Amino acid sequence: MLQLKPLDQNVPIHQQVKTDVSPVVLVNVFQVAEQDIPTLLQAWEADANWMKQQPGYISSQLHQGIAGSTVFMNYALWESGAHFRAAFNHLEFKQALGHYPQRRWFSAPNW
């Protein structure tokens, strides 16, 4: 099961992405069951390839903890908050979230 871990309890991600700033750096940390790692990696790669085609996308990187860790960190850079929101609100992206392992976080963000 995939579990999103908020980085800031006082200003959650849904509140942060409503701010129009440039550029935007998205950092999210999540944990997945060991047996779900291949599914996670496949879903993330497909999403990353799709995101690369979206206006305002600059780069992204997925990191995994070492020594058998099941904690991952995604780091993505966007030209602006508006570009970031447009990509994450796109129907195609929302549908792709279903390819991730069962998760305990928002299933279809609407920022």
CATH code of the domain covering residue 94: 3.30.70.100
Any domain includes 39: yes
Domain count, the chain: 1
Any domain includes 63: yes
Any domain includes 105: no
- Each residue's pLDDT tens digit, 3-32: 556 677 788 777 777 778 889 888 888 888
- Each residue's pLDDT tens digit, 28-85: 888 888 998 998 899 889 888 999 999 999 999 999 999 999 999 999 999 998 998 8
Q: Residue 20's domain spans which residues? A: 3-99
Distance of CA 39 to CAs 46, 60, 92, Å? 11, 19, 18
Any domain includes 72: yes
Any domain includes 70: yes
